[in-house]
Amino acid sequence: MEQQVTRHSFDDWMVPVYSPASFIPVRGEGSRLWDQQGKEYLDFAGGIAVNALGHAHPEVKKTLIEQAGKLWHVGNGYTNEPVLRLAKQLIDATFAQKVFFCNSGAEANEAALKLARKVARDSAGESKNQILAFNNAFHGRTLFTVSAGGQPKYSQDFAPLPAGIHHVPFNDLAAAEAFISEQTCAVIVEPIQGEGGVVPADRAFLQGLRELCDRYQALLIFDEVQTGVGRTGHLYAYQDYGVVPDVLTTAKALGGGFPIGAMLTLDKYAKTMQPGTHGTTYGGNPLATAVAGKVFSLINTPTVLQGVGERHQWFIDGLTRINERYPLFAEIRGKGLLIGVELSANYAGKAKQLTNLAAEEGLIALIAGPDVVRFAPALIIDRADVEEGLARFERAVSRLCA
């Protein structure tokens, strides 16, 4: 007999670093989820910008099952076919010449920051080690990446933190210019701050960072863990901004739900890493890379990428209509299918309450800080699901306003 489990089991058995919803999803298909009681939900969260092709996509499922019958894992003493094919796909589609695979966004950023430190040390010596990052940024939960993140509440309890990381306000080029120097080895930035409230960078800000990095020989690292793999309607957000980084990190949607991360860079930087300098047991395993290869090829098509722009408009139109009836949103922002609605001052701090009400109405949404509701649905969600989900969201909005 299988063990009976309920939401209470979480409190009994799990290290309480999360506070999950009161229901337990057990099955997903497309943009719909069902919980233990059989209640159906529309999924506008996409597993936090991960399930870019929805749940149980038939072609991805087929690839996973086929690969599961062939080879799961061999370790990095051997390379494998799926990892090499995925590397070539990423290289062909981006600025990159070399790829390092890992299992999560944090690990991709960890690799990027370590790469930047080593590139600088090899070329200019130990003192070129400073990293410039931004307030409210989110780069993951390892000690190095949580220190690069700009939300002290996530790092302060784990001091002493790695040294040499400095934060300035996001979208403030003058502040970045005031800090950057010959000692700077890297600037790490999200083209759109995701966890920090769905805040797009200004084009001039990213262009300015590019120029500063060129002037001071620092690596420009774009953290595209959330914005990558079609999320903004472009394969990567840098392609829309027209600003090319030296290092790009990608994860979340890359595996469509299977854990994988990658760091993309150029030959001249990659060559500073040698056998033994860095690694991870599971990185680039054939199961993850076969799935990611399929996900990547399904998303990297004009139809899917242009479709994201179309769907963006369905959301903006629907949310604008809701806001005409219940003036609750101070701003509706974001790109593609990474959309944030900031609650007006009267409803400050109530984003979580609103998403809880939405779940009662059968709609799963995210928050991005206490004042922003975030939507990151499947990139191929259909119109009927968007309309139905927004209708459910409107019922939640009307209850919050009541």
Ligand X SMILES: *Cc1c(COP(=O)(O)O)cnc(C)c1O
| Interface contacts to ligand X, rule CB under 6 A | 104-106, 109, 138-140, 190, 194-195, 223, 225-226, 251-252
As measured in angstroms, the least distance from the Cβ of 140 to ligand X is 4
Question: Could you report how far apart the first and last alpha carbons of the chain are, in Å?
Answer: 46
Q: Token match 């399930």: residue?
A: 51
Asked if 190 contacts 201 with a C-beta cutoff of 8 angstroms, the reply is: yes
CB-wise, 43 or 195, nearer to ligand X?
195
As measured in angstroms, the least distance from the Cβ of 123 to ligand X is 27
Q: Give the count of alpha carbons within 13 A of 75, CB side only.
A: 1
The residue number whose beta carbon is nearest to ligand X equals 105
As measured in angstroms, the least distance from the Cβ of 216 to ligand X is 24
CB-wise, 188 or 328, nearer to ligand X?
188
CB-wise, 234 or 392, nearer to ligand X?
234
As measured in angstroms, the least distance from the Cβ of 101 to ligand X is 13
Which residues fall within 8 angstroms of residue 206, CB to CB, at 6 or more apart?
189, 191, 238, 241, 243
CB-wise, 221 or 322, nearer to ligand X?
221
CB-wise, 248 or 397, nearer to ligand X?
248
CB-wise, 105 or 293, nearer to ligand X?
105
Asked if 288 contacts 119 with a C-beta cutoff of 8 angstroms, the reply is: no
As to burial, measured by CB atoms within 10 angstroms (0-12 exposed, 13-18 middle, 19+ buried), residue 297 is middle
As measured in angstroms, the least distance from the Cβ of 396 to ligand X is 24
Containing H/E element for 323?
A: helix 302-325
As measured in angstroms, the least distance from the Cβ of 146 to ligand X is 10
Give the integer Cα–Cα distance in Å for 17 and 20. 10
As measured in angstroms, the least distance from the Cβ of 236 to ligand X is 13
Q: What is the largest CA-CA distance in the chain?
A: 65
The residues facing 193 across adjacent strands are: 199
As measured in angstroms, the least distance from the Cβ of 328 to ligand X is 25
CB-wise, 225 or 357, nearer to ligand X?
225
Give the integer Cα–Cα distance in Å for 355 and 392. 11
CB-wise, 105 or 256, nearer to ligand X?
105
Structure tokens at 206: 């990213």
Asked if 383 contacts 314 with a C-beta cutoff of 8 angstroms, the reply is: yes
Asked if 206 contacts 241 with a C-beta cutoff of 8 angstroms, the reply is: yes
CB-wise, 247 or 322, nearer to ligand X?
247
The residues facing 367 across adjacent strands are: 373
Give the integer Cα–Cα distance in Å for 81 and 208. 40
As measured in angstroms, the least distance from the Cβ of 252 to ligand X is 6
As measured in angstroms, the least distance from the Cβ of 138 to ligand X is 5
Give the integer Cα–Cα distance in Å for 108 and 254. 12
Q: For residue 137, which of 166, 117, 163, 158 has the smallest C-alpha distance? A: 166
Q: Is the dihedral of CA 292, 293, 294, 296 positive or negative?
A: positive
CB-wise, 194 or 286, nearer to ligand X?
194
Strand, helix or coil for residue 164? coil
